[in-house]
A and B are shown apart, each in its own frame.
Chain A
Amino acid sequence: MTTATAPVPLQPKDFASDQEVRWCPGCGDYAILKAVQKVLAELGASRENTVFVSGIGCSSRFPYYMSTYGFHTVHGRAPAIATGVKLANPALDVWVMTGDGDGLSIGGNHMLHVLRRNVDLQIILFNNEIYGLTKGQYSPTSRQGTRSPTSPAGSIERPLSAATFALGAGGRFVARGIDTQQGPLVEVLKRAHANRGASFVEVFQNCLVFNDGVFDGFTDRKVAEERQIHVEHGKPLLYGKGRQKGLRLNPAALTLETVTLGEDGVTLDQVMVHDETNRTLAGMLAALEGPAPVALGVLYCAPVTSFTSAVYAGGEAVTGELDALLRQGKTWEV
């Protein structure tokens, strides 16, 4: 006789595979791996219904370190392959793990279209502003002047903003996190998971071998408070020590400007309140540049029907008769 017992909730470690993780010691990818495992445990996810699909690059080794289903594919194509997985079985929970080279350079076209179509996926883009696995060439998100084996005098190319790209492609969920900030990152990933559609999360991830400290300008503990703004829907856009700084809309210039409460007569009601359904505001937040803070959290979330929901709007049942198919149209008997 067997007795039914409630399933034991899985712990973060239960989502780890038996494979030895082969990222460089100290790589930001470890932190993202831990955050994702924590998210899955806290969401009560099942291993069998979870699929990680990746392309090529350091970030794309991710699926091997998970105890779920996983598919390490070819460079840049993970969004297309994940779309196929989802079309085959819309019930699966599918994550795309990618990087700035994989997702925005060789796979930029697929990223554009998976966002435009709003395929129900969580897309986590590890942005370290460098090609790591090929030993440090500048990437499409590298800042001008980045010195690398292919840009010894400094990169002359203008970088792409991942979040701006995602918004421009028609993404309905665009968020940001930092590898080492597990609390906010876990919350962002949970929000991404809750959204039914393409959820794009850019994670600023430090490559300590080829681009170490590239994000120190806003992630270093000494400057973090002044250089980061964690946005929350319905809350004023405040940051800085004691949350005394804020973002105010300058309607004449159509920009967000930084202000300090109490200075020049600035009051709290002049500070912009975050509305994550406002695409224009999301675009302004994504485009903030120093000395303004870097916007983190859910910049934009305005759900619409996901691609797979629309594809299967008429149901999934197979009702057609092969014989009738072959006999449709004009036939004659001999």
Chain B
Amino acid sequence: MSSSSSVPGAAQAAGLSVPREQAVVRFAGDSGDGMQITGARFAMETALAGSDLATFPDFPAEIRAPIGTTFGVSAFQIHFGSVEVATAGDDLDVLVAMNPAALITNISDLRRGGIVIVDKGAFTERNLTKAGYTANPLEDGSLSDFTILPLDIGRLTEAAVAGMGLTSKQTGRSRNMWALGLVLWLYDRDRQVTIDWITKKFGKDPAIVEANVAVLNAGHAFGETAEFPNFLRPVPIGPAPVEPGVYRTVSGTEALAWGLVAGLRAAGLDRMVFAGYPITPASPILHALTGLRAHGVVTFQAEDEIAAIGAAIGASFGGALGVTSSSGPGIALKTEALGLAIATELPLIVIDSQRAGPSTGLPTKTEQSDLFQAVLGRNGDAPMPVIAAATPSDAFEVAIEAVRLATKYMTPVFLLTDGYLTNAAEPWRIPDVTTLPSFPVAFRTDPEGFQPFVRDPATLARPWARPGTPGLEHRIGGIERDAGSGNISYDPDNHARMTETRAAKVAGIAADIPEQAVAQGEEEGELAVVGWGSTFGPIHMAVQRARLAGRKVSHIHLRYISPLPRNLGDLLRRFDRVLVPEMNNGQLVMLLRAAYLVPAERFSQVNGKPFKVSTILGAILERTREHPTGGAA
């Protein structure tokens, strides 16, 4: 089997192809078919084999939509390779479709010649109709571009558990293990860790353990013994060249949660109050932090989004680190309280797992359209730092940085992530905790000369004076505060001075963050592709391929969006053109144009999905010249 992916459009025209050491597999089925578990197990076996990987769970907003419907299809995609893998992959090499709905909604992403494994037992008249097929695609030749493996997975599963005393419902629910066994065979993966996992998960019911292991093994054995076409044999994809160390897989959620804990330690604080209200796709962060009490994390499920940020602000006033988390609509509700945190200059971290909007939008689909909301969306002149995670593991570092900025500058900080990053996972080299940053907080304790708004001349931060400290009793609030005492002040000049000071404090952070580096390529050239957030992966790969083809293109990726890095304007001006791919209708591009008067160009995608590498590559090729000496393979 070939494991190459086709690159359509301009990229194909340029004669480019991706390396052959990688593959993209998607498991798709009903919401209740266990596709997320199947994908996660396959990802774990792949990670343990040392391959680099990126995963993309894609599920509907409905928990259990009616069986067999297209809107109930849940999918899990994994891209893995013996080379660097930075995205969840463009086109599929293998699609597992557990029913007609899964096939019809996913087949368009399968590359020509790709393999589609279908459970043909699920291709009943009824299921075909529900999916919208008028004829059975397994029989009418419409899949002739692909290699179809129509297998009666239901019946094969039943055969594997015959005599084990399972109900038909229990048997049906283990079909996913059969498919997993077969795909593990296809990529020559081990099964032991999956078997261990099954044993642990269903440990209370040995019959279920036995059955699931039998089904998994049956799928694997089927691959070994079936008379597949000659080209269909195991494709070992080996380990990727990575730095030595101890690795694990990490999702954006886990990295973010653990980064907050690491930040808490770095700040020398013993308590974080994380207050949230359930919302897709941000809830997993609240789940991940609940249960970390031993690490100083107190989670609070508030009655609404406003109460969540309120409790977080109250906690920061009380001397703990207040953190709140939500997605776009919930962030909108928190906006008034954010103004209070800015006005009273309290440390606070606000995590926005962005999803497609406006309003409820597409709750389970990813977007980057809250950038304006984060940077600009408040009443009054209300600046606050905004930073963004680029990859699941990057969320660890970004969370630590958010804690640093919040505590050092006594300010709320926006940490932007998105639905894709929250759910996606990748291998991660576990850092040596002794090398992590340290930025201990110095609470004010000395009453001598204390005034709550007399600032550190270097950072312009006001002191953090915790209730319980004798002699530092003071009052703060949302009404404009006197520049020293913090008492109510309606003085016009004081308000002007405070407005300017708040702006200067946040702007001053630019001196305390790294200069903007070029992620890939030279510091000048024909084209700079500027991204932020989860577009890192596709931009990185697209720029890499374009550069292999000799194009003079560089990738600039922003972690800091407000304030922007101090050298960014100069850097952008060294390129003939600036292209800004974003999963929104053009937000960073507007900020860059406003800040630097550079002719940055919008490149939007708002279909709720991550960019494909080929999409960005095509845009790069259209905007750069071919060079005869270029090294395109």
Within the complex, the shortest CB–CB distance from B269 to chain A, in Å, comes to 10
Stretch at the interface among B299-307, B413-421, B524-532: B299-307
Contact A48:B471 (CB < 8 A) given known A19-B487, A326-B433:
yes
Is A224 positioned at the interface, with any CB of B under 8 Å from its CB?
A: no
User: Do B467 and A89 touch (CB < 8 A)?
Assistant: yes
Q: Which residues of A contact B48 (CB under 8 A)?
A: 330, 332
Q: Which residues of B contact A290 (CB under 8 A)?
A: none
What is the CA–CA distance of A195 and B61 in the complex, to the nearest angstrom? 45
User: Do B273 and A71 touch (CB < 8 A)?
Assistant: no
Report whether over half of chain B's contact residues are helix, strand or loop; otherwise say mixed. mixed
B150-161 vs A, CB cutoff 8 Å, 1 = contact: the mask equals 000000000000
Is B496 positioned at the interface, with any CB of A under 8 Å from its CB?
A: no
What is the CA–CA distance of A66 and B476 in the complex, to the nearest angstrom? 12
Interface residue tally of chain B, by bracket?
Answer: 35 or more
Is B449 positioned at the interface, with any CB of A under 8 Å from its CB?
A: no
What is the CA–CA distance of A325 and B293 in the complex, to the nearest angstrom? 12
Stretch at the interface among A158-166, A263-271, A313-321: A313-321
Contact A73:B245 (CB < 8 A) given known A48-B468, A48-B471, A327-B430:
no
User: Do B273 and A325 touch (CB < 8 A)?
Assistant: no
User: Do B315 and A71 touch (CB < 8 A)?
Assistant: no
What is the CA–CA distance of A73 and B476 in the complex, to the nearest angstrom? 8
Report whether over half of chain A's contact residues are helix, strand or loop; otherwise say mixed. mixed
User: Do B474 and A334 touch (CB < 8 A)?
Assistant: no
Q: Which residues of B contact A311 (CB under 8 A)?
A: 298
Within the complex, the shortest CB–CB distance from B204 to chain A, in Å, comes to 20
Contact A81:B313 (CB < 8 A) given known A63-B475, A73-B477, A331-B246:
yes
What is the CA–CA distance of A39 and B573 in the complex, to the nearest angstrom? 66
- A-B contact number at CB 8 A: 204
Q: Which residues of A contact B296 (CB under 8 A)?
A: 318, 320
User: Do A330 and B311 touch (CB < 8 A)?
Assistant: no
Is A295 positioned at the interface, with any CB of B under 8 Å from its CB?
A: no
Q: Which residues of A contact B307 (CB under 8 A)?
A: 77, 79-80, 83, 109-110, 113
Instruction: Please name the residue on chain B nearest to A319 by beta carbon.
Output: B294
Is A91 positioned at the interface, with any CB of B under 8 Å from its CB?
A: yes
User: Do A87 and B273 touch (CB < 8 A)?
Assistant: yes
User: Do B476 and A74 touch (CB < 8 A)?
Assistant: no
Instruction: Please name the residue on chain B nearest to A331 by beta carbon.
Output: B248
What is the CA–CA distance of A85 and B275 in the complex, to the nearest angstrom? 12
User: Do A48 and B472 touch (CB < 8 A)?
Assistant: yes
A-B contact pairs, 25 of them (CB 8 A): A47-B470, A49-B468, A69-B475, A73-B313, A74-B310, A77-B310, A80-B308, A81-B313, A84-B273, A84-B311, A84-B317, A85-B314, A89-B466, A89-B467, A110-B310, A318-B271, A319-B294, A322-B258, A326-B431, A327-B246, A329-B248, A331-B248, A332-B247, A333-B244, A334-B243
Which B positions have Cβ atoms within 8 angstroms of A?
Answer: 44, 47-48, 50, 193, 239, 242-249, 258, 261-262, 265, 270-271, 273, 275, 292-296, 298, 300, 302-304, 306-308, 310-320, 322, 336-337, 339-340, 344, 429-431, 433, 466-479, 487-488
